[in-house]
Amino acid sequence: MDSASPRYQGPRLLAVLTVLFVVPLAVATGATPARTDGSPWRWPLAGEPRIIRDFAPPEQRWLPGHRGVDLAAEPGERVLAAGRGRVAFVGRVAGTPAVTIRHGELRTTYLPVRSGIERGERVGSGAPIGTVATAPRHCDARSCLHWGLIRGRTYLDPQTLLGRGEIRLLPVADTPRIGQRPGQARGWARV
């Protein structure tokens, strides 16, 4: 078949699909998956902690589920910011001490964490934000750190920041492409 024939789509189709889907995806997310070579994201504990319980979101927002990852941690162990950001919350949630850090449109959450940092304080990736609290325990059988990730009102697997975990595509609106005005854009973003 002649490559000029309208039925032959091989490399041209692949190029068009790449431009239509892969390039906007990379632009919309604003970042590539984290890597150990200078990544802006890191584990919230020293080293690579053992995962006690994985992310298991509910099918509907109001149903029970596990909206983060539980990491093995000892009481008093230092908790580190998973990425650069600004402290959005320090206080108690249902009686459990917690910290939330805003990273642009993303928020990471950490509990149970005793902390002396202040709301509005800027933190760098890997900066100490507190210690694992002795009580109340988040994990019934042992001490742990519950690490969460939220975009808007949607809970995501925080391991995706490290290039691991469950990858979900969410619709992206108001992210204009070349030649589009804000409000016209539609697409998908990796989270």
65 and 102 belong to one structural domain? yes
d(CA 18, CA 26): 11
In a domain? residue 46: no
- Looking at the 3D structure of the chain, how many domains does it have? 2
In a domain? residue 97: yes
User: In angstroms, what CA-CA distances link 35 with 69, 140, 157, 176?
Assistant: 19, 32, 16, 28
156 and 184 belong to one structural domain? no
67 and 143 belong to one structural domain? yes
What are the φ and ψ backbone dihedral angles of 68, each rounded to 5 degrees? -175, -165
pTM above 0.85, yes or no: no
18 and 68 belong to one structural domain? no
158 and 182 belong to one structural domain? no
Find where tokens 């642009």 sit.
Answer: 104
Identify the domain containing residue 148 by its residue range: 51-168
In a domain? residue 61: yes
In a domain? residue 42: no
154 and 115 belong to one structural domain? yes
Please write the tens of the pLDDT for every residue from 20-42: 443 333 333 333 333 444 679 99
Please write the tens of the pLDDT for every residue from 120-173: 999 999 999 999 998 776 777 789 999 999 999 899 999 999 988 655 555 555
